[in-house]
Structure 1
Amino acid sequence: MHIAPLSPDDPSELGGYELLGRIGQGGMGQVYLGESPGGEPAAVKVIKPSIVDSETRLRFAQEVEILKTIWGARIAALLDADPEADPPWLATEYVEGLDLSRHVASHGPLDALLTASLGATLAEALATVHKQGLLHRDLKPANVLLGPNGPKVIDFGLAVFAESSVSLTAANTVVGTPSCMPPEQANGEKPLTPAVDVYALGAVLLFASTGHAPYRADNIHLLFHQVVDASIAPDLSGAPEELVPLLTAMLAHRPQDRPALDDVIRRCRALIEARGLKVAQARRRLTNFTAAPAHVLDDLLAVDRPATPGSTARARAGAADVPPGQGESEPEMLAPEAAQQEPGGFRPDRQEPEPPHTPPMPPAPVPRPTDPRLLFARIDTPTPPPAGTTTDEAAVKPDRSRPSARPAPRGGTGTGGGSSAPRRSLRHSAQARITAQRLREAYAANSPF
């Protein structure tokens, strides 16, 4: 996720949250990356002072009340809020990763298996929302964040109670995202039903698998015309063949012709199981493929993480999919900000990511040491110690004078430009597990008991 530095006009603190950078912005306000006094990251949404009025505050307060009622593993949780503050703000769980729109733009569409896994996950999330008597009403690729623990749904600013016909919008005013909006919502019909979110989910899955929306037009008026005209079928070109029947049903013009979310989950499961996988395995593949490898928060806070030898293949594809001993010398993935500027990128049907413009040299093979201290030297000192330095000194005092072999991303993140790419934590890598095992073996071999 790209984090822009704060501008001179931005506040440095809101509601006890220290603001670290800009995540994004829209017509209503700005979203910042914040940190609580206890170190909890948060996405802090602030209404623009120029548009704060009684109606805006009322809508914002409604969003806060709705977020208080929503729960679920796939929903970004509300942390705190103050709709009466000046300016009004709310803080939600921060999900470190790209949204679906940016991920597809950077890495291309998902294949049928990963799209089905995404569909089952999001359908289950929406079913949880519907059980709480709510509709999202604005599900779109930008509102699906691909975090390290799987996809999460955000932005319930347009959510309403399912049976309510009350609206804060002016008469004859339609709010939402036209490219993912069902015909009945575009026509201003009330009350809306859960079928609106089924249609929007179909549009999201179509975009995930093709990179385009159901309808495309040069201006919003023509787009609305295409959406509400029952004679114009949605554009499913490029969609995987096995997904076409499901997408056709979800994007049906009439709400009653669309499947229920339970049926969407069942059909996604059937597609996954036809590939010989369980749903949990497909979800892990989806998360491994879409999760961002960078630790943006640590880069912003200038936390120096220990460098990890390349273990991207096992970390990205999953330990169960890459046999031990393979992938340890592969180059690291670029940070998401740099990946957005690179064509191609990691694909689920490849064993390794496309290398950056200047790939690092693979590490030279190192014989297995018998001195346990040299096990740490393999990680901290990839090059031989300088002349005049003993092996024991090198084992406990690594040489940090050489720059990292990992290429820096173009256009770093954080509060300053040109920062180096964030590094993986050693304790999460496959190399760390191998090192720990060798350490135990070395101690066992040399132990007198």
Structure 2
Amino acid sequence: MRPHVHIAPLGPGDPTELGGYELLGRIGQGGMGQVYLGESPGGEPAAVKVIKPSVVDSETRMRFAQEVEILKTIWGARIAALLDADPEAERPWLATEYVEGLDLSRHVAAHGPLPALLTAALGATLAEALATVHRQGLLHRDLKPANVLLGPNGPKVIDFGLAVFAESTVSLTAPHTVVGTPSCMPPEQANGERPLTPAVDVYALGAVLLFAASGHPPYRADNIHLLFHQVTDPAVAPDLSGAPDELVTLLTGMLAHRPQDRPDLAEVVRRCRALIEAQGLKVAQARRRLTAYTAAPTHILDDLLAVGPASGPHVRAEPGPLASSSPAGAAPEPSAGAGAGARARTDATPASDARAEAGPAGPDQDAAPARTAAPLSPGRASGGQRSGGSDRPSPRSSAQARITARRLREAYAASTPF
């Protein structure tokens, strides 16, 4: 089955170039901004996040600048790398590595929950990635299915817009305001407690793994106030229905109400490994199976950018907001503040770029990870160059970019009922 490419064409009000990146289409949207598929002067793809003009103020710029500074400090194979940024531009923007893959939310919505073996492989991989972040003195604070991209080289974590320094009491949010995604938020974060500890990411990872294995988060409610009540009430246990029996003990521990009752990330990795090895596999084999199961059989970006006959990919361009999908029948995850008068905030998420139906290699087959485009040189991540400056290349209009934009426009027109 051909892949569904979730890219919409640029609209009349969209920029066509930022900081030397030519923008080709929209790949995500949030309350704070828009995410575009961009192309560097050398032809590298990038996810370019731009703050909406309507919300650009001093606080937004400060938060955005904080996100850029945090991204500069984060490294790791499972983290989408920062390529460049300019928080001081008229339209603040940042560019990160483009991961060609569905996010976990969209993958589960399209294909159903992951088998227990692959969920354990995902858990070991993400726990190791978060441990790397924690060693750099940071907490993610907003890990959720939409922030886990299932790329051709394995899962990657994105969107560190809410990341804070561990043990820090400094916050850019107003007093009594909670920022994050309630369905994956631990009780202490929902209660506005500070300082937060690495246990917040352990809880969120437990919520992500529960979703991966069952298709639903720990708590579900019709309105955000009831959801916060369920999350913060120690008498309301998380809903583990649908989770495989072999994962229930691990998930129960990770979703414990009290931070001190949760395992640390090293213990999460150890227990995921034990589950995998109990099935006669090494953890590296399980990781390869996870990648083969979630990866696309073809390289969508290569198809989009190919110069050739009009026999290109079957593209499904989706007009309107492209926020990450929720599981069938479920409402989108709210990012919100707790309690009466709380503020809802949703940062733009480099959403589920393009991904196909699961490839021919299923969970019982080993397969080597597919290749992916390498990120730009780490030297570009300094953020020192500013759009409009003399060091920036002039806006381009490459043959590949023009063809990609034309195909997106044609696909959009074909799918519009008028």
Judge same fold: TM > 0.5, yes or no.
Answer: yes
Letter matched to residue 33 of structure 1? L
Q: Deviations over 1:292-346 (max 9, x none)?
A: 23423233324349x9xxxxxxxxxxxxxxxxxxxxxxxxxxx96775xxxx997
Residue aligning to 2:133: 129
Letter matched to residue 416 of structure 1? E
In structure 1, runs of 5+ residues without a counterpart are 308-334, 352-411, 421-449
How many matched pairs?
329
Residues 292 and 359, structure 2, Cα contact 8 Å, conserved in 1: no
Residue aligning to 2:154: 150
Match of 1:51 among 55, 77, 84: 55
For normalisation by structure 2, the TM-score amounts to: 0.75
Residue aligning to 1:86: 90
Matches within 5 A, 1:30-429: 30-304=34-308, 339=357, 348=362, 414-417=408-411
Q: Deviations over 1:204-225 (max 9, x none)?
A: 0000000000000000000000
Q: Deviations over 1:177-231 (max 9, x none)?
A: 0000000000000000000000000000000000000000000000000000000
- Give the Cα–Cα distance (whole angstroms) in 1 for the partners of residues 294 and 363 of structure 2: 13
Residues 5 and 416, structure 1, Cα contact 8 Å, conserved in 2: no
Task: Report the CA distance shift for 1:419/1:300 in structure 2 as closer, same or farther (over 3 A).
Answer: farther
Residue 9 (str. 1) matches residue 23 (str. 2): no
Q: Deviations over 1:148-186 (max 9, x none)?
A: 000000000000000101100011100000000000000
Residue aligning to 2:386: none
Letter matched to residue 410 of structure 2? G
Residues 4 and 413, structure 1, Cα contact 8 Å, conserved in 2: no
Query: 3-state SS of the aligned residue for 2:83?
Result: strand
Task: Report the CA distance shift for 1:163/1:184 in structure 2 as closer, same or farther (over 3 A).
Answer: same
- Give the Cα–Cα distance (whole angstroms) in 1 for the partners of residues 124 and 356 of structure 2: 30
Residues 413 and 419, structure 1, Cα contact 8 Å, conserved in 2: no
Runs of 4+ aligned residues of structure 1 deviating over 2 Å after TM superposition are 292-305, 335-339, 344-351, 412-416
For normalisation by structure 1, the TM-score amounts to: 0.70
- Give the Cα–Cα distance (whole angstroms) in 2 for the partners of residues 66 and 142 of structure 1: 20
User: How many angstroms does 1:350 deviate by?
Assistant: 7.5
- Give the Cα–Cα distance (whole angstroms) in 2 for the partners of residues 30 and 235 of structure 1: 33
- Give the Cα–Cα distance (whole angstroms) in 1 for the partners of residues 145 and 43 of structure 2: 29
- Give the Cα–Cα distance (whole angstroms) in 1 for the partners of residues 92 and 287 of structure 2: 37
Query: What do you get for the CA RMSD once the two structures are aligned?
Result: 2.3
Q: Percent identity?
A: 83
Query: 3-state SS of the aligned residue for 1:61?
Result: helix
Q: Deviations over 1:390-436 (max 9, x none)?
A: xxxxxxxxxxxxxxxxxxxxxx983430799xxxxxxxxxxxxxxxx
Task: Report the CA distance shift for 1:135/1:90 in structure 2 as closer, same or farther (over 3 A).
Answer: same
User: How many angstroms does 1:348 deviate by?
Assistant: 3.3
Query: 3-state SS of the aligned residue for 2:410?
Result: coil
Letter matched to residue 174 of structure 2? A
Structure of higher CA gyration radius: 1
Query: 3-state SS of the aligned residue for 2:411?
Result: coil
User: How many angstroms does 1:8 deviate by?
Assistant: 1.3
Residues 20 and 40, structure 2, Cα contact 8 Å, conserved in 1: yes
